[in-house]
Structure 1
Amino acid sequence: MGDQPAYVVRGATMACTCGTHKRRINLPESHGSYVNGKPMMNEDDNGSENVPYFGICISPKMAAGQIVYLIDEEGNNIGGPPCMPDFMGKWLLPKENAKVDNKPALTTDSFLKCSIEGEVFFLSDGQHDSD
């Protein structure tokens, strides 16, 4: 991403180490803090309304069961168990000295841990992404 972590805003691109698809972080209602005209995120923005599923889960810890079929970024039809995120708390490594709605701000260094071994991380800060 660069030498310095950047503040994450609504629309930033994320990926999971155990997921097959990239996603964008969402913020249904702004916290009132903005960068480049886009709403900033904080360490509590880790619910299903913020962080969607990441396609198919490829973690060896994912229990067998339902199989879904999706088209990957290369246009291939792939199948496997659906990603069902189970996050283990707040975003880790937020910027403690920068507050968004009185909570530490997310940066491109922040990440989430899933109980099924996945780690969600940022591919972009979203500040210059088109909506």
Structure 2
Amino acid sequence: MGDQPAYVVRGATMACTCGTHKRRINLPESHGSYVNGKPMMNEDDYSPENVPYFGLCASPKMAGGEIIYLIDEQGNNIGGPPCMPTIFNKWLMPKENAKVDNKPALTTQSFLKCAMDGEIFFVSDGQHDSD
């Protein structure tokens, strides 16, 4: 993605340091700001509607719980506790001087902290991803 952070739009790919699967950020309703024709995101876009689960969770905090089985990105059958993001605070490191719906815009440097010790970060900005 280069050295410069890019604005994040709906459909950008995210990953979690404790998760097994990448997911796309969702935005049910646009804030009215766009980059390359795609809706931009802001620091308050961290609800379960925006940030889904990331497959299985490798956090030690999830040990001893329910086990489910999924196919990983290489086609292997893997098992472990299901990811259930528990997020209490907005995105960290947004672009303070760029507003989306009067709130700081998300960039590829923005990240979330999950209560299960995971860090959710952007793998792509979504600007040039196909929908």
What's the TM-score once normalised by structure 1's chain length? 0.98
Query: By how many angstroms is 1:88 displaced?
Result: 3.1
Residue 45 of structure 2 corresponds to 45
Cα pair 1:9 1:125 within 8 Å, conserved: yes
1:65 matched residue in structure 2? 65
Q: What is the deviation of 1:63?
A: 4.1
Contact 1:14 1:124 in 2 (8 A): yes
- Asked whether 1:10 is paired with 2:37, we answer no
Give the superposition deviation at 1:108. Answer: 0.1
Name the CA distance, whole Å, in 2 between partners of 1:20 and 1:104: 29
- Count how many residue pairs are aligned between Structure 1 and Structure 2: 131
Instruction: Work out the CA distance in 2 between the residues paired with 1:112 and 1:59.
Output: 15
Q: Aligned-pair distance for 1:6?
A: 0.1
Give the match for residue 109 of structure 2: 109
Q: CA RMSD in A?
A: 0.7
Residues 21 and 73 in structure 1, CA contact (< 8 A), matched pair in contact too: yes
| Shift of residue 61, structure 1, vs aligned partner | 1.6
Residues 88-125 of structure 1 show CA distances to partners (whole Å, capped at 9, x for unaligned) of 30000000000000000000000000011100000000
Amino acid corresponding to residue 37 of structure 1 in structure 2: G
- Report the Cα offset of residue 62 of structure 1: 1.4
User: Does residue 84 of structure 1 match 2:66?
Assistant: no
Q: What is the CA-CA distance between 1:66 and the residue it aligns to?
A: 1.2
Secondary structure of the residue that 1:61 maps to in structure 2?
A: helix
More displaced 10-residue stretch of structure 1: 88-97 or 55-64: 55-64
- TM-score, normalised on structure 2? 0.98
The gaps in structure 1 that reach 5 residues or longer are none
Q: Following TM superposition, where does structure 1 have runs of at least 4 consecutive aligned residues deviating by more than 2 angstroms? A: none
Please say if residues 88 and 112 of structure 1, whose CA atoms lie closer than 8 Å, have aligned partners that are also in contact.
Answer: no
- Alpha carbons 1:42, 1:103 under 8 Å: kept: yes
What are the ranges of 5 or more consecutive residues in structure 2 without an aligned counterpart?
A: none
